[in-house]
Structure formats: C-alpha cells, structure tokens
Chains A and B, each alone.
Chain A
C-alpha cells in the first residue's frame, strides 16, 4: 500500500507539488492527469524516491520510503521515466535482464531467465531481442524499457508518460498490456498520461493535479465529465459515450 502524506516540493519559490495527500489503490490502474506544469512527473519522482521531497512523506506498507533500503524498494516499486539514455551499446535482451538486477545482482538464475522470457513474451519483443537499443525506433525502445520494468516484477509499476513517441497502435498495445498486468497478475499501475482519453478508457482511478495541488481523486467515472474536466483544465470539454467508453472531445472546444 502506498500512502502519500502532505507531500511538497519547491523549485525556487514555486511549490511544484503542494501538500498532496492521497492513497494509491492496489490492484488498479491509476492515471495522473493535469495541464502542463501541474507537477505530475515531480509527484511520481518523489513517490519513486528519484527525488527527495521537501516536506511530507511517502509510505510503502506503513514504512517511509526514506527508510527502505534502495534494493529492497526496487523489488516492490519500479519507475520508468521518459528520458532514456540511448548511447549504451546494449541489446534488448540484456536491457530486459537488467530488470532482474535487484534480485540477482547481475548473475541471472533460472528463475530470472524465466521472468525475462515472460517479459519478452508480454511485450512481444521476440524479433527485436538481439538488436542494440540504439538501433531501435523511439517506440520500440520504449517497449524494451517497459519490458525491463515488467521483468523487475514489482507490485507497483510507475510510468511517466510511457506513450510519448508511440504511434496509436503501440499506445493501445501498451495500455492493454498494463491492463493485463493489473487484471491477470494483480499489479498496481500508476501512470502519468497526457491523453485524457487513454486515461478515461483504461484506468480505474484518476488523480488530477493543477498547479501542484490535488484537485480530483476518484474513480474514473466520477472524473471524466464536463464539470470536473473544466475544473482541471479550465476549458469546456464535452464527453460522449461510445461502446461503453467515455471519450472527451476537446479538439474544437472553446474555453
């Protein structure tokens, strides 16, 4: 269980994340949405200990993240950020094997190999597994990094805008895989998304931030409606229902 208490981060004088408190519901996909500069990525970075909070704390199983040993934490929570170094000469398979590092410290056991194999299956990377990641397209590389996180086999998977650089086909593919992670393997996924329709269609819960403050936190249904969206984005967004999915049609809306 991840709990966030009064979490605050300042850059200069600005509170990028401002006293945010919430709980992450297990075994669900939670999407974090909000306008640019709302503090979504900063929040995720603090939860995943990439960034130290100025005040407040993050609790994993009632224990503050700072007290967790980094390698133990890595077996429970994984984080994937947008920026990924590409100047390393490493094959897709080797990259995915790194996901097992917290368990085996670089020496793969049979158990580890099974997880790597599974992750390759999951992300459908068989054809690419022996290619070097610097030779891949942005989307392929993104899939390889997600596979690494899957191999890491943590209860919590945090992803920062994983759909960047991806075309529609691969975006849908990845969201479906995340869904499977939750439904079949019982993982908890927290994901920063730009496209609210992906958030609407695939997530169980939505957290909305604006200017560093938490403005909405609840089941998807309660958030994807015109009133709530106006509060978050300051614009009128009509919502239509199609095949049971709520779609936000914001393309020609007026403020």
Chain B
C-alpha cells in the first residue's frame, strides 16, 4: 500500500465524516455563514473530525512506540494496562483531588498513567519467558487488576455509572471546548517521529543501546512518557479506544516491515482511516442514533487481532 493512497482515503473519509450525523448538513449550507447548520458544523462536526484524527494517529503511534521498546508485536496500550491505568488515574483524581484545578487533575492522571506503564515495563523486565503471546497475556491480566480496582472504587463512591458512561470511548460528546486537550498529542507525535530510530535501538536492549552510545534510560523514559501523554489525553477526552494501538502498527509492519522512520507516517494515517471508518459506520448503522466508536472498534479490532493470532504466529516471533 502506498502512502498517498492512504492519504486520499483519509481525506475522503474526513469529508464524509463532516457531513454524516443526526442533523443533515450539506456543503451548500456552509455558504451561509450565519445559518444553524454552519454553527453545528463548527461547534460539533469539525471538532469531532479533529478529535478522531488526533486520537487515531495518537493511539496508533503510542502502540508503535510500545512495540518497538518492548520488541514485542503484541504490546500496546490495550495489552499493557496503560488504558486501565489512565482510567484508574481519572477516578482517583475525581475522588481525592476534588478541590484541585482541572489542570492539576490532568497532571495527576498523566503521572498515574506513566507510573502504571512503568510498572508493567518493570514486570516485563522480570519475566524470563518473553514470548510474543505470554507478555500481552500478563499485560491484559495486569489491566484487569487495575480495572477491578477502578470498579471497586466506583462502587464504593457510587459513581460507577458516571465514569463508565464517561470513559465509554465515543466521539458523540466531542464539541468545541471539550476536546482541546487532545492537541498535546501533536507534539508527542512529532517527538516520536524524531526519536523513531532511537526507540528501535533501545528495544534491542540496554547493552546493545549503550554499545551504540545511546542513553538507554533516557530514550526508554521518553518513549513511555509520550505513550502516557497520548493515552491520558485520549482517555480524558473521548474515553477508552481499545485495540487501535495494537492492530494498526501490526498491519503496517505486515506490508512495510519494521523501519520506524518509514512506518510512522503509515501507522498514523492508517490509524486515522481505521478510526474514521469505525466512527462513520457507528453513525450510519442506526441513524439518527449512534453506536459509540469503542464498540465498533472493539468488534472489528478483536476480529482482526484474532485473525492475526491464528494466521500470523510465525510472523509474530
């Protein structure tokens, strides 16, 4: 697949995305600057598209970074407890830092996500048996444990429904003024691109990296920080979007190999295309209602992942 094909696909899908929804908006309506349609377009549709683009690109890149650093194809925010750590961080900050400002809460969440991911990397370090299948298993279980704590706290504070609807993973509530946090993922993605080669080298292991004169600790921590920034901003604004960081980089690596410099643009755009398709499908199927995007992504994503597990075992090694 060529990059330009992906770009064209994403442009067409973006266009469709702008004009699909509960309220019918035609391109011609936009000529009238003062019309209701234009207002809706600017307050809801454009932010929604931007949010999808940033979330799609961000989550895919986050997955790619984690896969290079751990040198395991199946490690991703979904399969390493990162998203669950972000969720737990949010509920903790809601419970214990009620008086803190929004920014302080965000910073707390971010730090918590970072710690959650670091803990997993620590566990990974201790495991002798670094099988492509075994590591994500541990990661999923680790995520389940964090999730159980979240549910527990949610029950006790009686805000379970509250958070589960909020963390649902949907672009329905994305309107102007509620998604801007996602912009922090843009510098993160740029940094990821600049450091791409170093992530690959760091993934080869500490000794290997040092031999090449690379500050292993710095690169590792930078990578995980970027993952945490992206994950936190996505979870806080649109909720949990599973599997994206897992399958998109894997599909790209199937046809393009593993040179990070080359794969990053593909991964980004394919992530966007994938998320756009899921979101548009969710809006069309039961129009004028909506199916939250995380459900569509989870159904399609788990099917793709299962196919990869069944067919690509040799490749995963």
Tell me, yes or no, whether A and B come into direct contact in the complex with CB atoms closer than 8 A: no
Residues of A within 8 A of B (CB): none
Q: Which residues of B contact A (CB under 8 A)?
A: none
